[in-house]
Amino acid sequence: MAKEGNGQETGVVRGLGDVVAANSRLGCVDGEQGKLWYCGYDAIDLAREGCYEETLYLLLHGKLPAAQQLDALRREMGRQRHIAPALMQLLHSLPGAPTSMEALRTTVSALSATDPSPLDKSRQANLRRAIRIVAQMPTLATAHWRMRQGEQPIPPRDDLSHAANLYYMLHGRVPSEAETRILDMCLILMAEHELNASTFAVRVVASTLSDIYASLTAGIGALNGPLHGAANTEVMKMLLEVDHLGDIDEYVQVALGAKRRIMGFGHRVYKTSDPRAVFLRQALTEMGSQLPGVHWFRLADQIRDVVFKYKQLYPNVDFYAAPALYGLGFPMEMFTSIFACARSAGWGAHVLEQYDDNRLIRPTTCYTGARQQAYVPLAQRERRSSISVGVAVEAAESQPPAA
């Protein structure tokens, strides 16, 4: 039942900031200390030492895999990468989808139509579905992009890692070890981030006991908003603009003077440095000579220094993920869909967790509208409306003509 606020938002927390909405063993953000944990493991350690497949297993099972378990997961992901012909036909029939995010939103939903065991609602079946979605989303995203460029989709390879296969399906060549490593790091750092907007949307849908495909479709829709997953694209647009102008200090001063937001700085949760940005900056600096696009990393670093000089703001993960992806040859229009592909691991894990201890998510509102209004039958409303119009016309005609 909605609460009556007498016109005031009494007790309302706008945007649900700091409201605890779920128990979770998955992601933990310590905004005060600048830490991010996946199932108790420092996400930075996972990015530095591990791989995306390990991170996926950790999120789905709550523990790191043994070698045999990791090999089994890799084989399963390789087997699941190939999409059904019907889905490929669907991609061909979506010429109006302007980006791969719109195509993902449609085709991930359509994956339910090709589910091999749609009536099996067991946890094991949903676990297989989570892996299937994670494995197939890069195939869907890259196939749609290549179709829009008038090129043929490149079939996935089951002998490559998740990151290397994603790169391969877009570019048609196997990436170098350094290219694979930096992409793998980006995917790991974007895999999970507690109850952000898209993950909350995923859990709300899952709490109705709708299927995992519907749940992740909701997550894709939320991530596509410019206040959520599209920030990395805006960062790259800014880097290109600054590069064209050539004067970083002037650009920052003009932006700040106009109270225009400088993309890639600040975060809703982190009160200090975003640990993902700190690590990614370090990795790009160390590996820069082995990667294409090093110019963009250095430009980002220069902007970082100037912004900190004037505003003492810290960059977030988008600020370094954008030049990393651009340097790897990913078009800006695909940045958000790469984010979605990475975050699908966390989304799938949240669906399973919601199913394990489900309660329908149903918050309430503080009602601020009118009260105790008397119903007026339609005929009387029409009569009153006609009278009001007539009075208005009369008043207008009685005014003296304009000079």
Which positions are annotated as active-site residues?
A: 228, 267, 318
What is the C-alpha to C-alpha distance for residues 9 and 367, in angstroms, rounded to an integer?
8
Q: Please answer whether residues 103 and 140 qualify as being in contact, where contact means their C-beta atoms are separated by less than 8 angstroms.
A: yes
**270, 30 in Cβ contact below 8 A?**
no
Give the whole-angstrom CA distance, residue 105 versus residue 337.
10
Quickly list H helices, 36-122.
Answer: 43-49, 52-61, 67-80, 85-92, 100-110
Whole-Å CA distances, 30 to 27, 264, 346, 394: 10, 19, 17, 66
Matching residue, tokens 């791989």: 51
Q: What is the torsion angle, in degrees rounded to the nearest 10, for the CA atoms of residue 228, residue 25, residue 120 and residue 214?
A: -10
* C-alpha span between 16 and 9 (Å, rounded): 13
Residue at 47: amino acid letter: A
Per-residue DSSP letters for 140-187? HHHHHHHHHTT-PPPPP-TTS-HHHHHHHHHHSSPPPHHHHHHHHHHH
Residue whose C-alpha is closest to residue 293's, from 315, 324, 319 = 324
Instruction: Return phi, psi of residue 37, to 5°.
Output: -120, 140
Please give the Cα distance from 111 to 131 (Å, whole number).
13
β-pairing verdict for 27-30 and 3-4 = unpaired
For the record, the structure tokens of 119 come out as: 């009536």
Q: What is the DSSP letter of 33?
A: T
> Which of these, 279, 346, 321, 352, lies nearest to 27 by C-alpha position?
346
Contact 270, 31 (CB under 8 A): yes
